Amino acid sequence: MKRDKIRVVELSGTAYEMGQQHGTAYPQEIRRYAHERVELVAAGQWTGHKLTTDQVLTLAEECIPAHEAYSPDLMAETRGLADATGLTLGEAIIASGFTDFIDTVHNVYNQRQATTLTAQPIDDCTAFIVADEIADGAGFFGQTWDMHDTATEFVILLNCKQTYMPEALMFTTVGCVGQIGMNSAGIAVGINNLMGADGQVGVTWPFVVRKVLQQDNIDDALACITDADLAGAHNFLLFDKTGRGYNIEAMPTHQHITELGSGLSNGIVRQSGSIVHTNHCLVPETIAVAQERPPESQTSSETRLTRGYELLEQHPVTIDKLIDLTRDPQAICVQSKPPFHVESCGAAIMRPKTGDFWAVWGLPSENEYEHFTI
């Protein structure tokens, strides 16, 4: 489907004021998006547990103290958004952190009900870091963002100019504090969803992304991930303007960090000069606490990983080649199909050394990228 130009929402001022501005910009869409995601959680297909709406929201409210402890600033922004839209804080947390929250529901209810029910996997997001030395001296971070196809209409860019913080430009969705982005200090961050069997009451991943983008150096940015009391499992990728980069398989109970350019590391397969990651864990420590993926789902993730490396073999890597990678029809540009109707809702590519940011709304194969700078 052909999409319009991506919508850009400008936020500035204090955290609470930014939340109010975000909520005021798209109040009806944010409410609809939040209610849809609450219903998806309650239905049970994504978690293994069919619940009432009250049960879902009660568990989301249990996560509020963890978010408050991790970042009072981002909770103030969430309160501003909730006040502007009429959502509860629990609904706002689910709208923003859905793919972590389903890990929380899965494991918490397995424990509370003494069951071992399984959830169905979500195949989403192919991400990559391209080192400076194979990209004419200025490397890239980029990824597709794949989600249930009804999420595509909610895609926006947030341009955050928060008082006393670096400016940040983020590919995200209405009601979400941040998903994929880069700041004026030259730090880029993105994610792949993983399926954790160790989900817990904790902090959802968009809070982590936004806190990363509030930092002015990559060491502090990395600590935002490693110090987080995570609700669910995600793979985080960091890359900065000096050419430093990290891949972090971050489960609630275990993490594994791989530094760009450090060679092979416990099963993370990559060629020199790049890291590609998809939706399955690659090291024993994280595999041990991941949910088992059905064979077809595991094959999908492995195929996208292999294809990503294949498409990065020709050097130098350029923005045109990376745009083509996100449009790859063989594996990476995902088309919606039953039963989960997941698709590539958009994509973003960033070059921290130069401040260039390219983003596309909707299937990359059917829509044009737009160029921004920060």
Q: What are phi and psi of 274, to 5 degrees?
A: -150, 155
Instruction: Report the C-alpha gap between 144 and 363 in whole angstroms.
Output: 9
Provide the token pair at 85: 């839209």
Whether omega for the bond prior to residue 339 falls within 30 degrees of 0, making it cis, is: yes
The candidate with the shortest Cα–Cα distance to 4, out of 366, 374, 373, 323, is: 366
DSSP secondary structure of 147-161: EEGGGGGGEEEEEEE
Q: What are phi and psi of 129, to 5 degrees?
A: -115, 130
Instruction: Report the C-alpha gap between 95 and 150 in whole angstroms.
Output: 13
Instruction: Report the C-alpha gap between 94 and 191 in whole angstroms.
Output: 17
Domains and their CATH numbers in the chain: 13-112 (no CATH), 127-373 (3.60.60.10)
At 298 the pLDDT is 87
Per-residue pLDDT of the chain (374 residues; tens, 9 = 90+): 899 999 999 999 999 999 999 999 999 999 999 999 999 999 988 888 899 999 999 999 999 999 999 999 999 999 999 999 999 999 999 999 999 999 999 989 888 876 766 666 666 799 999 999 999 999 999 999 999 899 999 999 999 999 999 999 999 999 999 999 999 999 999 999 999 999 999 999 999 999 999 999 999 999 999 999 999 999 999 999 999 999 999 999 999 999 998 665 445 655 568 999 999 999 999 999 999 887 888 888 999 999 999 999 999 999 999 999 999 999 999 998 887 788 999 999 999 999 999 999 999 999 999 999 99
The answer to whether residues 255 and 226 touch, using CB atoms and an 8 Å cutoff, is yes
Which residues have a Cβ under 8 Å from the Cβ of 338 and sit 6 or more positions away?
none
Instruction: Report the C-alpha gap between 117 and 124 in whole angstroms.
Output: 22
Q: What is the β-pairing status of strands 255-259 and 245-250?
A: antiparallel
How far, CA to CA in Å, does 228 sit from each of 222, 299, 315? Answer: 10, 30, 36
Reported pTM = 0.96
Q: What is the β-pairing status of strands 274-277 and 127-130?
A: antiparallel
For the packed helices 53-62 and 89-112, what is the interaxial angle rounded to 10 degrees? Answer: 100
Instruction: Report the C-alpha gap between 129 and 273 in whole angstroms.
Output: 8
Return the DSSP state at 335. Answer: P
The candidate with the shortest Cα–Cα distance to 270, out of 292, 246, 296, is: 246
* Helix H or strand E encompassing 207: helix 205-212
The answer to whether residues 101 and 119 touch, using CB atoms and an 8 Å cutoff, is no
Residue 289 backbone zone (phi > 0: left; psi -120 to 50: alpha; other: beta): alpha
